[in-house]
Amino acid sequence: MEEEITDQLPVNPQNFKSGFVSIIGEPNAGKSTLLNSILGERLSIVTPKPQTTRKRILGIHTTEETQIVFLDTPGMIKPRYKLHESMIESIRLSTSETDAIVLMMDSEKLYHKTESLEQNLAFKLVKDLQTPLILALNKIDLIKKEDVLALIDRLKTIYNFAEIVPLSAISGFNTSELLKALRAYLPGNTYFYSPDILSTAPERFFVSELVREKVFNFFSQEIPYSSEVIVEEFKENHLEDPSRKDLIRCAIIVETESQKKILIGKEGRAIKRVGQSARRDIEAFLGRKIFLELFVKVRENWRDKTNALKSFGYK
Ligand SMILES: Nc1nc2c(ncn2[C@@H]2O[C@H](COP(=O)(O)OP(=O)(O)OP(=O)(O)O)[C@@H](O)[C@H]2O)c(=O)[nH]1
Ligand SMILES: [Mg+2]
């Protein structure tokens, strides 16, 4: 992983710890919600649908005593497309490079599961990892306290977790306990990244993700899963004249003509709604006004085409 050591030194180097932590788990467990909650910024998109995150996202949490570089990853799934293989590869890469792993599980889902916990895909996948594994038992706001405690007792019998931290990512409840627990596994004592930055991804990336988030939120069934968003033009007009708005043109790629039709909607109403909602969030994220233009393109079967995936930035 590329490290950008800065000249800046921690205020109190004796007491400072730093390191890399990946967040992994099943789709929809709340990984991106956790990252956003810790950073206090909507860095990673969150939707009620599984498989929202597709590429790993780096989020840097810096305090006077610690710097934790988090990697939010796509949910663990059995691959059905080349796209999924790329998503799984990004989980593998993330876990091979970090000092600790947070395995996030949805406590409500686990509690109501009838199959044995050993059969769980996530537990199977982490079995052979050598890195310290911290279980974050999320969404405890949805089940009774005594059920959480019973679940923790069961989980202790199936895996020797370094720590188990029950929490609620959405409200931030107990996330400070997770941060405290992680500190023990951080090997560094200097900054990896400047303490002023939250992420390393370019603005373009966040823009395309925010548009994709709206596609996930506004459409059901296969449209979100068949869509990708590409920023085709990003004119930073504000650099020349602060009173001028930036112009951003995004292509939404779908797999079929009929999906294109649905995405555009009657008299363009559906895509207009996506555009308005995305523009508001992009402006809030960038802290400046923009013009956002959206258009739809068809690229058959892009999820299974190596070249298309490459051109969309998947490895
Ligand atoms: N009730 C409750 N809902 C939560 C909590 N954390 C996350 N959620 C919800 O769970 C859903 C999925 O959250 P995400 O953060 O997108 O989950 P993810 O693990 O990143 O999902 P993928 O990117 O698809 O792997 C969203 O609707 C969140 O609002 C929580 O603590 N309690
Ligand atoms: Mg996510």
Which helix (H) or strand (E) element contains residue 269? Answer: helix 269-286
pTM of the model: 0.94
* Ligand 2 centroid – CA 225 distance (Å): 14
- Residue 128 is predicted with a pLDDT of 77
Indicate whether 84 belongs to any domain: yes
The Cα 169–Cα 44 span in angstroms is 13
Residues 179 and 210 in one domain: no
Task: State how far the alpha carbon of 77 is from the alpha carbons of 25, 73, 88, 203, 224, in Å.
Answer: 9, 12, 7, 28, 17
pLDDT grade for 34, boundaries at 50, 70 and 90:
very high
Q: For the chain, report the end-to-end CA distance as a whole number of angstroms.
A: 14
The Cα 262–Cα 269 span in angstroms is 10
Q: Is the CB of 166 under 6 A from ligand 1?
A: no
**Nearest alpha carbon to residue 136 among 99, 183, 177, 98:** 177
Tell me: pLDDT of 225 over 60. yes
- Split into its structural domains, the chain has a count of 2
Indicate whether 52 belongs to any domain: yes
Residues 176 and 213 in one domain: no
Mean pLDDT of the chain: 92
Structural domain of 220: 203-311
Q: What is the mean pLDDT of residues 56-75?
A: 95
Residues 69 and 218 in one domain: no
Residues 226 and 167 in one domain: no
Judged by its nearest atom, the ligand closest to the C-alpha of residue 216 is 1
- Residue 4 is predicted with a pLDDT of 64
Rg of the Cα atoms in the chain:
20
Q: Is the CB of 52 under 6 A from ligand 1?
A: yes
- Residue 113 is predicted with a pLDDT of 79
Indicate whether 282 belongs to any domain: yes
Q: Which residue has the higher pLDDT, 121 or 272?
A: 272
Residues 261 and 215 in one domain: yes
Q: Which of 155, 183, 211 is the last residue of a domain?
A: 183
> Residue 279 is encoded by which pair of tokens?
């523009």
The Cα 125–Cα 312 span in angstroms is 27
